[in-house]
C-alpha cells in the first residue's frame, strides 16, 4: 500500500478524448514488467540452496567412496537418522527445526504463486504504442488534495492509502466543523474517473470522530 498527503496533480497524465486503443503485445509486456516485481532474486536464492545441498551430498559421497572420514556426517548414517525421525531428537529442537523449514517453504511458495504486483497503476487510454505507469504515492497525493478541498481541512488532516483494488481516505475534521462525507467521496471518485486507472479502485471514506483544533 502507498499513502500520501502532499498535493499532487495528474492532469497532464490523464487520457485525452481520442479513441482508446489496446496496447500492443510488446507494450503489454513492458507494462507487466513495470507493474510486477521480478522473481529473479528469489529464484537465484532457491537455485543456490539446491546447488549447495547437491554439491555437499556429492562431496560426502566422494569422500566416503575413497575411504576418507566424512566432513560432517556419513551419508548412510544421515539416511538412517532421517528414516528414524523423530527418534533421538528433543521435541523442542524438532519443533523449531520444523517451523524454520515450514517458513522457508512458505516463503518460496508464496513468491511462486502470488502475482508480486508493485504499488503502481496504469493510466488507460494512452494509445497502442505507449503507456503511462504511475506510482500509487503520486495517485494518493492527487486524491488527498481533492479530499482536502472537499472537506475544507489542512493537508495534515487527510491521509489517503491506495492499493490495487481500493482507495481509503481518512479525514480528521476540524473541531466544530462537520465534514460532508458524501462530498469527499464524490470528489475523490471524480478525480479517479479522470485518471482512468486500470484497474479502477473502489473508494472508501473514513471520517474520524475526533477532531483537531483549528489554527
Task: Give tens-digit pLDDT for 99-152.
Answer: 998 998 888 888 777 766 777 777 765 555 567 777 888 889 999 999 999 998
**27 in a domain, yes or no?**
no
Report yes or no: 180 and 142 within 8 Å, Cβ to Cβ. no
Give the mean pLDDT of 148-165. 90
User: Number of helices (H) and strands (E), helices first, in the chain?
Assistant: 6, 7
Helical (H) or strand (E) element with 21: none
31 pLDDT more than 70:
no
Residues 126 and 200 in one domain: yes
For 20, the grid coordinates are 482508446
Residues 164 and 87 in one domain: no
Residues 66 and 15 in one domain: no
Owning domain of residue 170: 2-22+121-207
**In the chain, % of residues over pLDDT 90:** 18
**213 in a domain, yes or no?**
no
Is the preceding peptide bond at 31 cis, omega within 30 degrees of 0? Answer: no
**31 in a domain, yes or no?**
no
- The winner for highest mean pLDDT among 28-32, 36-40, 55-59, 195-199 is 55-59
Q: How far apart are CA 16 and CA 19, in angstroms?
A: 8
Give the mean pLDDT of 153-167. 89
Q: Hey, CA dihedral for 126, 128, 129, 132, is it positive or negative?
A: positive
According to the model, what pLDDT value does residue 2 have?
Answer: 43
For 169, the grid coordinates are 481516505
**215 in a domain, yes or no?**
no
Of 87, 113, 139, the residue at which a domain comes to its end is 113
Number of domains, the chain:
2
Residues 107 and 132 in one domain: no
Q: Which of 57-66, 99-108, 158-167, 206-215 has the lowest mean pLDDT?
A: 206-215
44 pLDDT more than 80:
yes
**29 in a domain, yes or no?**
no
Give the mean pLDDT of 21-39. 62
According to the model, what pLDDT value does residue 7 have?
Answer: 43
What is the distance of C-alpha 177 from the center of its chain? 37
Residues 126 and 153 in one domain: yes
Report yes or no: 157 and 171 within 8 Å, Cβ to Cβ. yes
Per-residue pLDDT band at 26 (split at 50, 70, 90)? low
* pTM score, whole prediction: 0.56
Q: Which of 37-41, 48-52, 103-107, 183-187 has the lowest mean pLDDT?
A: 37-41
Of 113, 140, 159, the residue at which a domain comes to its end is 113
**In the chain, % of residues over pLDDT 70:** 77
Amino acid at each position: 500500500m502507498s499513502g500520501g498527503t502532499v498535493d499532487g496533480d495528474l492532469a497532464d497524465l490523464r487520457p485525452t478524448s481520442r479513441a482508446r486503443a489496446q496496447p500492443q503485445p510488446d507494450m503489454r509486456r513492458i507494462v507487466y514488467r513495470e507493474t510486477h516485481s521480478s522473481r529473479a532474486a528469489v529464484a537465484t536464492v532457491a537455485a543456490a540452496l539446491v546447488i549447495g545441498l547437491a554439491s555437499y551430498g556429492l562431496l560426502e559421497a566422494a569422500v566416503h567412496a575413497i575411504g576418507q572420514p566424512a566432513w560432517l556426517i556419513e551419508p548412510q548414517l544421515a539416511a538412517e537418522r532421517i528414516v528414524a525421525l523423530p527418534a533421538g531428537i528433543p521435541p523442542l529442537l524438532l519443533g523449531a527445526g520444523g517451523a524454520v523449514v515450514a517458513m522457508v517453504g512458505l516463503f518460496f511458495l508464496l513468491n511462486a504463486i502470488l502475482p508480486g504486483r508493485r504499488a503502481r497503476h496504469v493510466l488507460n487510454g494512452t494509445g497502442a504504442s505507449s503507456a503511462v505507469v504511475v506510482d500509487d504515492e503520486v495517485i494518493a497525493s492527487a486524491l488527498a488534495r481533492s479530499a482536502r478541498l472537499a472537506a475544507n481541512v489542512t493537508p495534515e488532516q487527510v491521509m489517503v492509502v491506495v492499493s490495487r483494488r481500493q482507495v481509503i481516505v481518512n479525514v480528521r475534521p476540524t473541531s466544530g466543523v462537520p465534514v460532508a462525507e458524501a462530498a469527499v467521496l464524490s470528489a475523490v471518485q471524480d478525480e479517479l474517473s479522470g485518471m482512468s486507472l486500470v484497474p479502477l479502485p473502489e473508494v472508501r471514506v473514513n471520517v474520524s470522530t475526533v477532531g483537531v483544533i483549528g489554527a
